[in-house]
Amino acid sequence: MTNENNHAAAPINRLVEEFHKLPGIGPKTAQRLAYYLIRMPDENARSLAEAIVAVKESVEMCSRCFNITEADPCSICSAPDRDETTVCVVEEPLDVLALQRTHSYTGLYHVLHGVISPMNGIGPDDLKIQPLLGRIRDGDIQEVILATNPNLEGEATAMYIHKLLEPLGVRLTRPARGLPVGGDLEYADEATLGRAMDGRQSF
């Protein structure tokens, strides 16, 4: 390959590497996305780049619940009609969206931003667990719903948090088993998810 070709390939390789860092994107998919962008009209490519920059500049984490938001505190934490005695603990911001669509839960949220996963090098200190403990010690929270996904890592994370919260004297519940084992909250239909929240059980 000539020096000119090497020079041209460098930004392409960098783009492929950046796509490959995204979750669920393998090397082949990363290459397809990179070459798709090369063929994309300049206007569309610039619009995509501007959207990414805008998200990074205008979206942040709520300092209370750690959901993504454009204003701190977020619209849920600052809403006067939310039940501030109940907190639903979820793995990701997408889970908040899924639960909000059910219109059956009126309490607050706490987003962990992941689950305990030793295989992936994620431990308790990598999650927003300590701020959750602080919210419970400092507030009037009476019930904590551990709504992590009903899979191995979600269950292990819920058990870990349960052990930390049990001495604090709050009621600990899990969504009812209308949710499929091994499934993710964000993919559950609204009716099933709503029934699971309504029929939640003591942990």
Structure confidence at residue 183 (pLDDT): 63
Q: Where are the domains of the chain?
A: 3-58, 72-202
Helical (H) or strand (E) element with 46:
helix 42-58
Please count the other Cβ atoms lying within 10 Å of the Cβ belonging to residue 146.
23
> What's the pLDDT tens digit per position in 98-130?
999 988 899 999 999 999 998 888 999 999 999
Mean pLDDT score of the chain: 88
pLDDT in tens, 21-74: 988 899 999 999 999 999 999 999 999 999 999 888 888 999 999 999 988 999
Distance between CA atoms of residues 88 and 144, nearest Å: 6
Note whether 19 and 34 are within 8 A (CB). yes
- CB hemisphere CA count around 71 (13 angstroms): 6
Give the pair of three-digit tokens for residue 43.
């206007």
Is pTM beyond 0.75? Reply is no
Compute the distance between CA of residue 35 and CA of residue 37 in angstroms, rounded to an integer.
5
* CATH number for domain 72-202, candidates 3.10.20.600, 3.90.1150.10, 3.40.1360.10, 3.30.1490.20: 3.40.1360.10
Q: What is the dotted CATH code of the domain comprising 3-58? A: 1.10.8.420
